[in-house]
Amino acid sequence: MAEAPAEPAPEAPKEEEEPKAIPPCMDLSEFPLKEDYFEGILLLPEGVERVEGAPNFRQVNGFPVFGVGQPTEEGLLGALEKVTGSTSEPPEKIIWFNIRKEPVVYINGLPYAPRDPAELHKNINITFSIEQTAHLEQCLVGLTQEVAEKAGGMLKVHKDLAFCENPLEREEDVLEVKPEKIESPADIVAVVKEKGFPNLEWTRLPANEERAPAEYCFDMMTKLLKEIPAAVPCVFSDQIGRGRTTNAMIIACLIKEIQITTELR
C-alpha cells in the first residue's frame, strides 16, 4: 500500500505586532514648560478663606457654583472638601469643568503648561477636539519624562516672577527642577476619585482667554447643565481662576436660576 502523505508541519505562531502609538495632534518638543503659579496669582480680597493649592477658590452666594485656578493634587482634594461641606447632604455628583484649551502636565504635584517659544507670556491657543487635547496631555507626560532623562534627570522650566496686565512687562526666571513624579490631569483626577470622591465628573470646556465663550462652548455647557438637577455642584477652573472661569460661573448661575424657577412653578 502507498504511504499516506505526511501532514505539513504546523506553522509557528506569529508574534503579535504591538499596536502603533497614536501620535499627538501637536508637536510640543520645542515648547518650554511654564509653571502655572506665580507671585500675585491670588486675587481675592484679604479675609476670604483660602484653600491651599487651589488659588482663588470661591463660591457664588446662593448657588452651588464654584470657581478656582488650576489646583494641585492636594488643592483639588481641598477644593472638593469645601464643595461637599457647603451642601446640607453629600452630593451624589460633582461636575468639574476645566475651561482651559491648553494642555497641562503636573510635575511633582504642580501644574505646568507648554508655551510657544515666541510667546512665552501667553497660553497657547489651539483648536483641537477635547479627545485630541486629552491625548496630547498624556503624550506630554512621556515627552517631559524623555526631556528630563536626556538632561540627566533635571528639567528646565519657566516661571513668571509676578503678574502684569501687559505681557511684555512680565519678568520671568528659568529654574531647574528634578521631576520625581510626572502626571497628566487625568492621572490626578483618578487619584482624587480613589481618595474619596468617586462621584467626581471631570469634563473639558475649551474657552478662549479674555473673550466671551465661543458658541460651541456655550452650547456644550448648556446641554450638560440642563441634564442635571440645579442642586448638583459645579466647579469651574482655568489657570488663574479669573476670566474664563468667571464667565462660565455666570452662565452656570443663569442656567441654574432658570432651572430653580421652573421647578418652583
C-alpha to C-alpha distance for 149 and 143, rounded to whole angstroms: 10
Which secondary-structure segment (H or E) carries 238? strand 234-238
Summarised one tens digit per residue, pLDDT across range 28-71 is 999 999 999 988 899 999 888 899 999 999 999 999 999 999 99
CB 63 within 8 A of CB 187: no
CB 263 within 8 A of CB 124: no
C-alpha to C-alpha distance for 80 and 200, rounded to whole angstroms: 9
What is the percent of the chain with per-residue pLDDT over 70, rounded to a whole number? Answer: 85
14 pLDDT tier (thresholds 50, 70, 90):
low
5 pLDDT tier (thresholds 50, 70, 90):
low
CATH 3.90.190.10, applies to 33-40+51-264: yes
User: pLDDT value at position 211?
Assistant: 60
Three-class SS state of 257: helix
Three-class SS state of 140: helix
Is the pLDDT at 242 greater than 60, yes or no?
yes
Is the pLDDT at 111 greater than 80, yes or no?
yes
Q: Find the helix packing angle between 73-85 and 185-194, rounded to 10°.
A: 50
Task: Name, in order, each residue with C-beta under 8 angstroms of 37's C-beta and a sequence gap of 6 or more.
Answer: 55, 110, 111, 159
What is the number of H-type helices and E-type strands within the chain? 5, 11
167 pLDDT tier (thresholds 50, 70, 90):
low
Summarised one tens digit per residue, pLDDT across range 210-228 is 665 556 667 888 888 888 8
More confident call, 94 vs 20: 94
CB 163 within 8 A of CB 40: yes
C-alpha to C-alpha distance for 103 and 184, rounded to whole angstroms: 9
CB 249 within 8 A of CB 236: yes
